[in-house]
Structure 1
């Protein structure tokens, strides 16, 4: 038995009834909270026929109908990865990442099969995506994998011939260069991609199937996301400045010569190394370029004449963020999705911007990752809700009728989950904070439960209607916790102004929104105001550390997952360039703004913490081709600092993980470990008090 399992095993057996939660009591000093762990289990189990025994056995009644951790974790999306599924050139099937494999589903009969197992791509951070992509003739599927030792391009042969089908998979490149952003030339003779073989992300091409590579660019700035003109005579790519804020779309010959700037976009910080801006798409007639921009204050799509004869213009101007735009095969329409307070709808706009149409507008849910069929008659997309993972649908564009094509949701499992409420509340300065509220299902009138503030990562991210945002929250709501998921200032989805409101003041201005959320929870009749916790992962872990350090006494329990207590660590210990770019954008260049970094470092106030805190991380296993992090220090340093000051702290690093805990078995264990910690410090009664 592992040490943490030993720590928690005694408490699990004496958990009080979730249906009989303790009523409000006076706030307890920390010493009493610590003592509670020792006193709460010092009783003998009553006899089965005893009335007290009946009450204790009723403890499990609240959770008896709850979905189990394995059931919950096994609720997975039908389509994995971040990229839209791809239609085969003949329209007969759609391919996508399925688990860690390359999956395919027939577009007529919905028959599912695994084409090749184990795409195996890890360690790429923001660049990581297998990106399975069909060749124009339907002969090959190209994807990125590190199963050869480092990230390179592989081919799966879709037809017999040349001895290729017998081996199924063939490694095409051997650059060991983080190959990504794959784009087939229109004639299928080569693939353009970006890779960092010489220390910079440059544009390359590789010929198919002989694997001959050519380097087209050598700028020290990041260059990526190539795309071809329809006739294959020119290649476009995106170059970011050193801050990852400004983007230039550049056009070159297929050999990299005769570069020309097509359009310049400014003021769009691209945390994921260019993934948010992504590829500039050329219209089927070759005349117009479609790209994503934040220059209006919202993430909208813009078009510009490719020959430079006109100015960029918004194609479907909106005060909502847009994503996943695609030209229709005939170039007459553009499909895209729009995010309205977490609900993602699927829409069309004509190429000239004069006509528009809503294809899918859910009252609740997210229609995402749309892709046109080769003949333009159908669109595939994924649909999910806070209680149901993504499933693959196909719509007939003319009739507007959709049908479910592929799902991995087991019968009856998703039905065990309950839809959250959408709420909002005012922060200390009057700013309105949107949020999701999860309540225990089937609660009795007058029952009161512990409250939990659940903070998202990013901080430039958003709680929305996607299932993965809510998946683990269901575990706690079904076991007697009221969980508030706020989109605090700095979140995406509400415009650039809202997104930048926490620049320079991490852990202070945005903490005000968290504290206002606590005040909101305390107004709810089903929340015990003396039992409030805070938790979150990544920036949510940072904010959890900030909450206990900069607002001592507010929370009765805290669980910080994969957080960072010292912001200067991003320039000394944290091995991810994307994180460094993020902090330079939001907190300023380092070391010139060292005071700002220190002001946002919770570790410097560890001596003032009064909240029992559980610090969680992965043990730091890295991909074989990357340096191992040997117990990443950021979370461990914060836990050690708390321990140095004799604070109540638990710490656990889960084996076989990077810094974040994603594995199935570890996630199941983590959920129970978190629940045990909350039960110990939020639920367990203290004898005599």
Structure 2
């Protein structure tokens, strides 16, 4: 096994040799928006505890932590490891009432299956083998039945029940059946789900959460007699996303659950089996969840993130006295080695960095107090599970099973990745010194700072983030500016208290933390509102069907004007997962073309949580019409998630600010187009003496100078003019470095440099490596030869938008609808005029430039 692991990790890192096929984690789940349900509902690998269950003595817990199950007395400090599977992680234990066994969920990179552990013998038994996602196992009080949630047969989260004996599961059955909602649901499946099951003390009833005809949130608390599922009834109206997890007290009189209703964070609440007016049981600006009663009803165990990472607490139900169950001493199942990682830069100074450690057990490891993160996709021919990583503030130390260990260190894009396989010896310290080597662009191309324009500090994840910790995350990724976009997650706005118009006091000389806003309307497209000088715009969203804010008004043009009025910078964020098709898309409502021609848009995230190539195609067509629309970049990182598509700074824009490191200089460079966007490759472009964002009056023959520095191999490096490749550069060696000069004939329009790969690269936690400079403009009237066709395409696009906007029946007034349609109609008329040969008009209404 160790040799196989070394080979596996070597393949993982040899990105240029294989055409990688990146697929989503748990791709068998058929639900929209996997980055929400995966984090908010499914168990994740964390170094701290994630869920717990009491033994019959009400004084001992079995809990999941770091991918294993552990046993610990609540008044003790020693945790004993009960399970440790190779290349798999264990979660969600549920202890049988007789204390002899534990059922739990095991993730192996392909599926989540149910298992049972005999506590006396240590024997493990697989209960499901269907390749589905099977979670939340709960044993009936007599131990003869088990309820759980599974995607088997449909890809949806449904409630299953089975009989259970020594041989395993029998009479497996879907308890409630599939039901399609009459409502359209943006974040949730069209089919109702049934999640969070728990048993009544008499074993006759299951309590659970479901969402029939619920548009937002995972739904209400329900109860159902197991013997007569048709008699289910709603207990309480709720909204909390994915983790209410109701559980009846042993006395059968109090129903415990987690809720954020009316708050920004989840806390514990109590109601009754009849749904009496709920009362809060706990308070705090952090999350308490995954709560479980002790068998005698005297205690409640739960997980919280008060200190940032996850922690296991036990509260006395009568007095509220709380203790932390901390594994000060651990008794692991396998011999351990101690790694000490010391990371330094080219000056020998210690620097934080991103680290992935894969040990001889085929599992990811991290320091006990580190936040562990998991990627949202991977190539199954190269990896057994997704990449897990953490941020190391050098030096950092951890224990790992003895044997071969592979360590991979990355620090932004301007340093070469470092990787090494070592032999970790049981009982010994293994010091690892990492000397990072820079690989920067030549100074002639600019003096850049890097900015991630789209981060969410907190968004309902496992951890609780703060501006200080966000600055630490950014520093580890060699990111200079981190923009926290405060935004709603359905009915709450987790970071609203952090919003401010000046840099956060947590900022340092190396990393600036700024707070801004994302405006949510999935009908028109999401907006980034940076540099707001006065206040957060409320309501922060529109066009939310089946709510009091259902009206599509205000449209994005109105919001852009409100932002510009307080000095804001407006951009379209994570625009397109696929190329819009006005002729065939079922619905097309994105407002981007209208807002661009009306002068409302200051930048577009060509690099973001979307498909970069599809978005670039739309961008090119706008550039062809002479719109000086710069690219920005933003990861849309949910920075308190344990599972996310990438760390802060995965998608970033490099801005040529002449060395200035403040927000004003960054915004000026962003709006001027002075820079490039990337998820890895660094790009330099000079056309004569012009840099990206500049304009050359003359067309004809020009001298170019280009440069590439990349932490990963690059397949393609190209000059693009007016949407067409006009020069392809041949990359030699490892395809990570290139410098070239030459002469090229160019017509009027624009030209930029881009680098891209055909497929994914495991070292870039994104769809594929990609980078693009902003354009250099050529000529007095820089319209591309295809401008008339491009204008006709956008006119057709806006015809579809008008069609979608006209079909909405939830405007608050006829005046709102008329104003919206008039705005869109003017924009369409302007594109039609361009298509007929008119010169590009000036913006019809004042924008932000």
In the superposition, the TM-score normalised over structure 1's length comes to: 0.48
- Structure number with larger C-alpha Rg: 2
- Bigger proportion of residues as helix: 1
